[in-house]
Amino acid sequence: MTALSDRASAPVAVPDAPRVARRIAGRSSDPMQPRTLVLLAFLLPALAFLILFRLTPIVIAIGGSLFTQNLAGETSFGGLINYAQLFADERFWNSLKVTLIFNLIINPLQILIAFGYALLVMAPGKGVTFFRAAFFLPMTLSTGLTAVLWNIMLDSNLGPVNAILEGLGIGRQPFFLSEHQALGTMIAIATWKGCGYWMIFLLAGLYRIPGELYEAARIDGASRWHQLVHITLPQMRRPLAFVFVADTAINFLFFAPVYIITKGGPNGATDLLMFRAYENAFTFINWGRSLALSTIILVIIGVIAAIELRLFRDKEGADA
């Protein structure tokens, strides 16, 4: 009892609380911890790439659009004169109209077909491997090669497509030579080329949907259509938002087939803004106006992308 009472009455050593607090604070506030260094090592190259190859060209384009050039090649600050000249140019407004029509048609068309592709290759059964290869194959061809191939195939005199149409009694079609068919034909070949690419992103989103949701729906007797509307589409909002924004940006920059096949014709039917920017820079050597066009394209893409993201965010928030 004496030993126990002596131990109980002995003073207990209490650590210096302020000193311990300082040590903990020193450790937690150290910015150069190994984990922080590792994160910086991974982030800095990507950040440098973003600044060098994305943000810097945007700043150069916006700044360059405020300068003008004379016939001698001398550059001077002109303010908004390039924009004023563009807004007074009827060819600019025609290019803007053609570009908007092109994107209003091709963006939902590509995503709708790509989503159908993704649903088809997700379904179990024979032939899925064939469809995956068939849908993905156009993506393996370069844009320039795709334009050359379709230009040959749709040739009004020697093209095999027109030979087939003539054999069916439909008659030969002018395709790229027609003011009324050129833009639609350009949309068709761009859709054929791009749907397989967007299918990959949508297919990845479909694979992320938990299978338990579909199993519970089947137990409740839900049809495939109800599963699509009430499970697949709500779960695919984020992948669809990404694909919508990325597809919009890429199609506003659509250029190579127009340059290779139609040169903006016939009669301005395929004169997209990107081709107009190229022509101003390399045909008319008017870099200021070309950069002004590039800036306008960037602003349009930003506005449409913001609207698309807002629409998807509103839908997601309404369901929450």
| Whether the predicted pLDDT of 73 surpasses 80 | no
Of the two residues 101 and 37, the one the predictor is more confident about is: 101
**pLDDT digit string, tens, across residues 229-244:** 999 999 999 999 999 9
Say which residues have a Cβ less than 8 Å from residue 9's Cβ, sequence separation at least 6.
none
Of the two residues 157 and 301, the one the predictor is more confident about is: 301
User: Do the beta carbons of residue 189 and residue 146 sit within 8 Å?
Assistant: yes
Percent of the chain with pLDDT over 70: 87
| Angle, CA of 75, 80 and 85, to the nearest 5° | 90
**pLDDT digit string, tens, across residues 75-128:** 889 889 999 999 999 999 999 999 999 999 999 999 999 999 999 988 777 778
- CA 200 to centroid of chain Cα atoms: 13
SS (H, E, C) 226-283: HHHHHHHHHHCHHHHHHHHHHHHHHHHCCCHHHHHHHCCCCCCCCCCHHHHHHHHHHC
Of 127-136, 138-147, 176-185, the least confident: 127-136
Instruction: Output the six-digit token pair for 261.
Output: 């096949």
Domain definitions of the chain by residue range:
89-319
> What is the per-residue pLDDT for 43?
87
265-276 exposure pattern, b = at least 16 Cβ within 10 A, e = fewer: ebebbbbbbbbb
> What is the per-residue pLDDT for 217?
92
Helix residue ranges, H only, the chain? 2-9, 17-28, 34-50, 56-64, 81-87, 90-122, 128-136, 143-153, 160-167, 182-207, 211-219, 224-227, 233-235, 237-252, 256-257, 273-282, 287-319
CATH number of 89-319: 1.10.3720.10
| Whether the predicted pLDDT of 8 surpasses 70 | no
Pairwise CA distance, residues 49 & 12, whole Å? 59
Distances (CA, A) of 172 to 13, 85, 175, 308: 100, 41, 9, 40
User: Do the beta carbons of residue 248 and residue 308 sit within 8 Å?
Assistant: yes
**pLDDT digit string, tens, across residues 175-197:** 999 999 999 999 999 999 999 99
Instruction: Output the six-digit token pair for 135.
Output: 């849908």
Distances (CA, A) of 215 to 122, 211, 218, 221: 16, 6, 5, 10
> What is the per-residue pLDDT for 69?
80
Q: Phi first, then psi: what are they for 122, rounded to 5°?
A: -75, -25
Distances (CA, A) of 62 to 54, 65, 283, 291: 13, 5, 21, 7
| Angle, CA of 111, 113 and 119, to the nearest 5° | 100
One-letter amino acid at 106 equals I
Per the document, the length of the chain is 320
